[in-house]
C-alpha cells in the first residue's frame, strides 16, 4: 500500500537534501519520479530544488492553482514516487490530491516542509499534512544551545528577532534561525516587548 509521508523540521535540518537523496534512489533503479517545489521559493531558481550542500534538481513549480494530481497523472511512464519540497505552501485541497495519488493510484508521496512559521503557527499545507498523512517523520536540527531545534525565528539584517509580518517571507540563513522552543520564545518575546 502506498502512503502519504510528511517529513517536517525546522529550517536547516536537511529536508531538501533528504528529498534529493530519495529521488536519486528511485532514479538509480530506473524508476520515474515527479518532483514539485513551491513556485514562490526561487532561492535555487524557479522550478529547482536546491540544498545547502550543493545538490539540486529541476522540479515542477506549483502555486495554489496547480492541480498536482492531474500533473502526475499526465506524466509519461509509470510514476514510482511523487516528491514535494516546501510542502508547507500546499493548499489543503492539494494535500488531499496527494492523498488520492497514494490511496487510489498507489503512488507513494513524500512531502517535505516546515511545520510552523516564524510565530509558531502552522502553515495551512502543514496543518493538513499533519491531519491526514499516513506517516509523520520529524527530521532533527540543532539549536544554538545544543537542544533539538523545532522553531523558526525570523530575523532582520542585524540578527534581531522579527515578531510581526506576513506568514510567508522567503529566505534562508539570512532571514531565519532554527531554535529550540525555549530560545525561540525568549527571543520572540524580547522582540515583541
Q: Are the C-beta atoms of residues 31 and 38 closer than 8 Å to each other?
A: no
Among residues 28, 76, 86, 173, the one annotated as catalytic is 86
Q: Which cell goes with 117?
A: 512559521
- Contact yes or no for 97/69 (Cβ under 8 A): yes
CA distance linking residue 126 with residue 118, whole number of Å? 14
Of 150, 154, 143, 142, the closest CA to residue 192 belongs to: 154
Instruction: State the residue for C-alpha cell 497514494.
Output: 102
Consecutive H or E run containing 97? helix 92-103
169 is catalytic: no
Could you give the residue numbers annotated as active site?
86
Amino acid at each position: 500500500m502506498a502512503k502519504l509521508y510528511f517529513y517536517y523540521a525546522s529550517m536547516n535540518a536537511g529536508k531538501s537534501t533528504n528529498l534529493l537523496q530519495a529521488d536519486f534512489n528511485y532514479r538509480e533503479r530506473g524508476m520515474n519520479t515527479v518532483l514539485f517545489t513551491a513556485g514562490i521559493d526561487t532561492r535555487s531558481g524557479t522550478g529547482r530544488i536546491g540544498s545547502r550542500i550543493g545538490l539540486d534538481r529541476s522540479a515542477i513549480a506549483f502555486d495554489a492553482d496547480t492541480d498536482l494530481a492531474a500533473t502526475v497523472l499526465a506524466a509519461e511512464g509509470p510514476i514510482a514516487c511523487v516528491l514535494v519540497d516546501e510542502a508547507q505552501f500546499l493548499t489543503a485541497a492539494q494535500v488531499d490530491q496527494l492523498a488520492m495519488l497514494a490511496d487510489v493510484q498507489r503512488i507513494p508521496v513524500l512531502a517535505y516542509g516546515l511545520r510552523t512559521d516564524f510565530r509558531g503557527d502552522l502553515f495551512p499545507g502543514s496543518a493538513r499534512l499533519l491531519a491526514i498523512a499516513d506517516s509523520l517523520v520529524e527530521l532533527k536540527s540543532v539549536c544554538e544551545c545544543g537542544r533539538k531545534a523545532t522553531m523558526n525565528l525570523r530575523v532582520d539584517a542585524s540578527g534581531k528577532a522579527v515578531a510581526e509580518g506576513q506568514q510567508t517571507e522567503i529566505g534562508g540563513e539570512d532571514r531565519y534561525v532554527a531554535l529550540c522552543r525555549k530560545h525561540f520564545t525568549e527571543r520572540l518575546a524580547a522582540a515583541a516587548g
